[in-house]
Structures are given as structure tokens and as C-alpha cells.
Chain A
Amino acid sequence: MSSSQVQDPTGTADAPFFPMSRKPGCPFDPPPPLREAAASHPVSRVTIWNGSTPWIITGHAEQRALLSDPRVSVNDRLPGFPHWHAGMEQVSTRRAPSVFNTDPPEHTRFRRMMTAPFTFKRVNAMRAVVQEITDDLIDRLLAGPRPADLVEAIALPLPTRMICAIMGVPQADHAAFAAQASVGMKRDVTVQAQVESFRWQHDYLADLVRARAAEPRDDMLSDLAQRVTDGEITVEEAAAMGVGLFVAGHETSANMIALATVALLEHPGQLALLRESDDPGLAATAVEELLRYLGIVHMAQRRIATDDIEIGGQTIRAGEGILIELASANRDPRAFPDPDVLDLRRPAPAHHAFGFGLHQCVGQQLARVELQVVYGTLFRRIPTLSLATTLDAIEFKHDGIAYGVYHLPVTW
């Protein structure tokens, strides 16, 4: 192999392995090779678990272009699709079509069946409920023993209760449902465990959709049940939509709550700003900046090219896999001046924390309200909140499709 090949970031022979490790001591920063890639070769190649060498896109502008390019597909049944892991590959042939694995026009049809509860106005009308749940969880935390695990006490229950309430999952089943849904979010999950948890959630929701068809209520599953009755979708598709919403909507927000707490405690100046500012707009810009800075969706969104595409001086051939690594675009110096500085007043929130293009997050307005309420309340109500551990003793979700912390011991 010639030396020019060794240094060629677009060559397949020595494409570095992805996912990569973060630098020890820098739990908030994307792995160094990805940072370098974003700055100098935003379209390059990596090697993944099955030995294939898909493209990885780390630049902000390049991601924006590809995520809105109709030649870039999420159809995970196409040969050569760069799956997250073997479990996902196995499940892909059994998953019902949904927003996650279809392109337009199917995607548009599925997406419009799930967007009604998540409009800006509908979600903002629920702000009082989010506030009430948050206050209730903080009351319980304060009444309980110290130290406590913030993940168990607040970060997980708030988004779980919200998404279950919107869907119409009975409160008694929330915990069982949440436990099953977290299985597929782990990177090193066995194929068997993946398939079993997927089937459990699917069957549970299919039963609930059938129950709602018989006795409708004012919730999302009843709405989907009506569409099943009308012949618009099958029970399987309705259940797949529910599973997808739950998986996408509870652990992501939970990770943002807990990880942001760590980041803010490590940046006391910024935390003081958040706690003491009387600017009502600050909670909103703070949420956008923390979404950007933490870039929790760090395992790269998976796509495949359906035609040849010229981008960033490279040619992606039809049939080649594409990894869109959102977190590194959020630190792209061409898009964000001083990208590694956490600045809660940073304007222009063009971050990719929710992705971009047709698959951009359905639940983003809900996530925003949840985070605005939690960040705006937690540190004001518990001004002495602090870590009951050290930064290097915290277990970060390096193996999660969404990055975060497994537990967060806090005291006050």
C-alpha cells in the first residue's frame, strides 16, 4: 500500500473503525478523529461492525445537503444498508414500515399520522402539565434520602410519563414498558434480546390498539386505532408507530436532562446564569445550546445512496452506505464560532441535535418544552444541587445510540 493511500481519508483499506472512543476526561466532546474529520475532510470513510466501509459525514453543511437529498434513503432493507448492529439488521426484515424505514411517499403518509399531538401549539399547551410533573418529581426527590439518582428520580420518569400520557399507555404499565424499550438502545445488545424486547413492546401495543378500537379514548393510540378500523393502516403498523414513538421519545429526553445537569455543574458560570437570569428567553436559548453542545445522538444516523452523489469533493456511489454523525456537525467550526464553548446565550440555533430534512425529530417541540421546564426549575428549586460522585466515576452511555449517563448520584 502506498503512503498516499494510508493518508487518504476516503480510502477503504485503512478506514478507521466506527464507533470511536471519546478522549478520556472529555465526556462532552465527540471523539478526536471525528473532530478532525469535520474540520478537514467532512466526507470520509469508516469501517463498521460487519467489515463494510460506508461514508461518514461529519460536516454541518454536508449533512444539511445530504439529509435533504432525495437520493439518500432510509430504506434499511436495501442491500448494503449500514445497520447499527447485527440485532438491528436481523430486526429490519421484520419491522413494519414506519417513518423510520421509509422514504416519500410512504414516509409522508406515516409521518402525518403521528404529527398531530406534537405541533408547536399543542405541545406548548401542555407546558403546565410538564411543570406540574416536574414539581411533583422534585418534591419527591427532596423528601427522599440523599444522595439520590437523578436519572431514576427525574430524568427518566418525566419524558416517560409525557409520552405515555400522549399515547394513552396506562400508568401502571409505564415502568415495564420503559424497561423493555431501553433494551434496543444499547449498542452491544444480543440479537436474541433485541428481538424479544421488540416483540414484547409490539405485542403490548397491538393489544392496546385493539382495546382502543373497541373503546376509544382521547389519546393517540385511539386515533391510530380509528385509522386501523378505517383500513388506512394495519394493527402491526399502528403498533410499530407506537414502539417507535416510545423508543425515540423517552430515553433521548432523559439523557438530555441528566447529561445537561452534569455539564452545567461542570460549568458553574453558565449554571449561575441559568439559575439567576430573569430573561425569559434564556431557558429557550439554553436548551438549544445544550442540545448542540451535548449532541447526544452520537451513533450516526444510517442512510444509503440510491444514486451517485457528488459531495464535499467525493463521489458517493449508488448502493453505498452513509453515516450521518450529528454530534460532530454540532461542533463544526465552519458552522459555529468557538464550537467547544458552552454559551447558553449563543444565537442562531441551526444545530443538528434533532437531525435535518424529512426525518427531523417528530417530538422536538415536546422535548424542548420538557427541557425548558426542567432546566428552568431544577436549579432554582435546588440551588445547592451537586454531584455526589466525581466526574470520572460517572458511567457514560458510550454504547448507547443516544449518549448520556446510566446513573447520576446527586446531593443537595
Chain B
Amino acid sequence: MRVAVDQNKCIAAGQCVAANPDVFDQRDSDGVVVLLEAAPDAGQEDGVRRAAAACPALAIQVQG
């Protein structure tokens, strides 16, 4: 699985970190998403998909 985030779209709602804190983080200065792991392993996939579905800004793209 490949994940990409669009920091310009992100509105810092934190749904992604709530869904998977190993793959997503938020910048201290303004809460904008930081991608920790662009190629998460199988065990992470579920949380990543939940994050992408929950993101209110449609800022998370998942492939595979």
C-alpha cells in the first residue's frame, strides 16, 4: 500500500492521527498532517483506510 497526503488541503482536524498514529502525525506549529510512513505494512492498512475515509479535507490518497 502507498499513501500520500496533501498538506495544502489539510485542515488539521486530526482524524488521521486518531485512526493511525504510526502513519500520520500533525505539525506542532499548526496541526497540518505529516506523513510518517509512505509505504505502511499490512498491519497498518486498516487504520490508513479509516484515516483516508474520515479525512474531512479529502487530503489522504491511498493506492493498493
Q: Say yes or no for A361: interface residue by CB 8 A criterion.
A: yes
Q: Which single residue of chain A is at the shortest CB-CB distance from B11?
A: A358
Contact status of A115 and B12, CB under 8 A, knowing A356-B56, A357-B56: yes
A358 near B57 (CB under 8 angstroms)?
Answer: yes
Question: If the complex has contacts A111-B11, A360-B11, are A118 and B31 also in contact, measured as CB distance less than 8 A?
Answer: yes
The answer to whether the Cβ of B62 comes within 8 Å of any Cβ in the partner chain is: no
Partner of A364, one of B14, B28, B30: B14
Within 8 A of A (CB), among B6-24: 8, 11-14, 17-18, 21
B5 CB to nearest A CB, Å:
15
B58 within 8 A of A: yes
User: A113 CA to B30 CA in the complex, in Å?
Assistant: 7
B35 at the A/B interface (Cβ < 8 Å)? no
| Inter-chain contacts of A67 with B (CB < 8 A) | 56
Bound-state CA distance A115–B14 (Å) is 10
Is the CB–CB distance between B12 and A119 below 8 Å?
yes
List residues of chain B with CB within 8 A of the CB of A123: 14
**Residues 334-374 of A contacting B (Cβ, < 8 Å):** 350, 354-362, 364-365
What A residues does B56 contact at CB under 8 A?
A: 67-68, 355-358, 360
Task: Return chain A residues, CB-CB under 8 Å to B44.
Answer: none
User: Is residue A121 within 8 Å, beta carbon to beta carbon, of the partner chain?
Assistant: yes
Q: How far apart are the CA atoms of A5 and B59 in the complex, in Å?
A: 42
Chain A residues contacting B30 (CB-CB under 8 Å) are: 112-113, 115-116
Cross-interface CB contact of B18 among A116, A358, A360, A365, cutoff 8 Å: A365
Q: Does A412 count as interface, using CB distance less than 8 angstroms?
A: no
**Residue pair B13, A116 in contact (C-beta under 8 Å):** no
Cα distance A261–B8 when bound, in Å? 40
Q: Tell me the bound Cα distance from A360 to B12 in angstroms.
A: 9
Considering the complex, give the chain A residue whose CB is closest to the CB of B57. Answer: A358
Q: Does A204 reach chain B (CB closer than 8 Å)?
A: no
Number of interface residues of B (CB under 8 A): 20
A120 at the interface (CB under 8 A from B): yes
Partner of B26 from A108, A120, A356 at Cβ < 8 Å: A120
Selected from A108, A112, A365, the residue in CB contact (under 8 A) with B14 is A365
A360–B13 contact, CB under 8 A?
yes
* Chain B residues whose C-beta falls within 8 Å of the C-beta of A113 in the assembled complex: 30
A263 to chain B, nearest CB (A): 24
Contacts of A111 in B (CB 8 A): 11-12
- Nearest CB on A from B15, distance (A): 8
Type the 1/0 row for B21-50, where 1 means its CB is closer than 8 Å to any CB of A: 100011011111000000000000000000
Q: Nearest chain A CB to B12's CB is how many angstroms away?
A: 4
Min distance, Cβ B25 to any Cβ of chain A, angstroms: 8
Asked, given contacts A112-B30, A350-B53, whether A118 binds B11 with beta carbons under 8 Å apart, the answer is no
Q: What are 6 A-to-B residue pairs whose CB atoms are below 8 Å?
A: A68-B57, A112-B12, A115-B31, A119-B31, A350-B53, A357-B57
